[in-house]
Amino acid sequence: MIAEILSVGTELLMGQIANTDAQFLSRRLAELGIMLYRHTTVGDNPARVKEALGEALSRSDIVITTGGLGPTEDDLTKEMVAERFGLRMVLDEPSLHAIEAFMNRVGHPMAENNRKQAWFPEGATIFPNACGTAPGCVVEQDGKAVAVLPGPPHELQDMFERQLAPWLARRSGAHIESRFLRIFGIGESNVENQLRDLFHSDNPTLALYCGPGEVQARITAQAADREAALAMIEPVAEEIRDRLGDHVYGEGADNSIEQAVLSLLKARGETVSFAESCTGGLLAARLVGVPGASDALGEAHVTYCDAAKARVLGVKPETLERYTAVSEPCAREMAEGARRISGADWAVSTTGYAGPDGGADGTPVGTVFIAVAGPDGTTAEECHFRGSRAFVRTVAASWALNALRLRMEARA
């Protein structure tokens, strides 16, 4: 099956937003094995929407449109699809009731122009919108189809996963499932090398996505039903876990390393504190970013200057003088001090040169010492990160959180 994406929205042509809808759809279509040769973006202009729609249909089996489903007069994607296929627009009563119910739920009165969102090309299969007022639809004629999705990314993504992906799967007689494995502490090319043979499979497929210092592996399978698809994914997931060992820290598209750390702490009824120099509050900020962090974090300290390391955390002046603040002995004393003053079960420290300037003989910019103090002693490691100040600090914070995870798992 060959698809094209047609994005409708003057805000895209003005550069007010990036076309993340096209990126999302492209990634998901690739995972579903659907060919995609072109994206087109046009503004909220009826003639140009209709022209681009006709061109896209001439080259593909299905055109997926995004945007232009709002309540205003500008929004006319459905109308242009109807014109292109020579169909009347008809009112869908269930959609009208759903829009009314949605507006009541969010506490806004139903506006007269919202009624427009309940009209569709005759014969369309309607996709309810779980996150907003604009339903989508798919219209078919002569072996060609147009799927009409809303523009707001969370509405689009929800509708794609719940409605269009299953529709595409039914069309191909298959059910599609995915599982995400979250990987830390090993580079993308290294992951790729270790999993090389697994990329050759067409079903299930394996794809890697990268964040700063992190890799996600997505395994996607097509089968006759959900159970069969999940059963196909299971051995691949197991194989990846076997090969990558404790580099796999969790599963799920939204599962961050700080969420994994907080889950472990809560499951064990344990607490943590932080003593941060170069990360300067990022460790605490990331853990506090997860709802429920107060169960596991009571306090944390940013000790950026040497005097604060000594006064707040009790780092010995001799240590600072002999080894400097960017050293393993200092990192150890910082973590032990933070654990002592907070009474927490665990404490994690960071001290390093984040750049762009700084660094010392034998300790270049990007060097970060990370220590973890816990019930079973203190461990420390020296890391070297390459990149901007923001990159070094972000990856150092992730590395420190992961070091805590590994210590907790080793003690479990």
Distance of CA 95 to the CA centre of its chain: 31
Are 336 and 376 within 8 A, CB to CB?
no
Q: 């196909």: which residue's tokens?
A: 232
Q: Cβ 283 to a copy of itself, closest distance in Å?
A: 7
Selected binder of a copy of itself within 84, 247, 301, 405 (CB under 8 A): 301
Instruction: Scan residues 266-285 and list those touching a copy of itself (CB under 8 A).
Output: 274, 276, 278-285
Strand partners, 148: 65, 137
Selected binder of a copy of itself within 86, 173, 269, 291 (CB under 8 A): 291
Our CB check for a copy of itself shows the closer of 298 and 317 to be: 298
Our CB check for a copy of itself shows the closer of 124 and 344 to be: 344
Exposed/middle/buried for 193, CB within 10 Å: 0-12, 13-18, 19+?
A: exposed
Selected binder of a copy of itself within 68, 185, 355, 366 (CB under 8 A): 355
Q: Cβ 174 to a copy of itself, closest distance in Å?
A: 20
Selected binder of a copy of itself within 8, 32, 34, 41 (CB under 8 A): 41
DSSP, res 152: S
Q: Which one of 38-46, 63-71, 183-191, 232-240 is the stretch in contact with a copy of itself (CB under 8 A)?
A: 38-46
Q: Which one of 24-32, 90-98, 185-193, 231-239 is the stretch in contact with a copy of itself (CB under 8 A)?
A: 24-32
CB atoms within 10 A of CB 202: 7
Instruction: Scan residues 320-349 and list those touching a copy of itself (CB under 8 A).
Output: 342
Contact call for residue 94 and a copy of itself (CB under 8 A): no
Contact call for residue 22 and a copy of itself (CB under 8 A): yes
With CA atoms as reference, report the closest residue to 232 among 192, 253, 208, 205: 205
In the chain, the N- to C-terminal Cα span, in Å, equals: 49
Residues belonging to the chain: 412
Selected binder of a copy of itself within 390, 409, 410, 411 (CB under 8 A): 390
Specify the pairing of strand 346-352 against strand 272-276. parallel
Contact call for residue 308 and a copy of itself (CB under 8 A): yes
Our CB check for a copy of itself shows the closer of 264 and 284 to be: 284
Q: Cβ 22 to a copy of itself, closest distance in Å?
A: 7
Selected binder of a copy of itself within 54, 317, 356, 375 (CB under 8 A): 356
- Binding track over 181-220 against a copy of itself, x by CB under 8 A: ----------------------------------------
The amino acid sitting at 57 is L
Selected binder of a copy of itself within 393, 400, 404, 408 (CB under 8 A): 393
Q: Which one of 90-98, 101-109, 252-260, 286-294 is the stretch in contact with a copy of itself (CB under 8 A)?
A: 286-294
Longest dimension (CA), the chain: 84
Q: How many angstroms separate the Cα of 404 from the Cα of each of 149, 211, 249, 257, 343?
A: 43, 20, 12, 10, 17
With CA atoms as reference, report the closest residue to 386 among 371, 370, 404, 364: 364
User: Distance (Å, rounded) from C-alpha 171 to C-alpha 147?
Assistant: 13
Strand ranges of the sheet holding 205-211, from the earlier edge strand across to the other edge: 205-211, 214-223, 175-184, 248-251
Contact call for residue 360 and a copy of itself (CB under 8 A): no
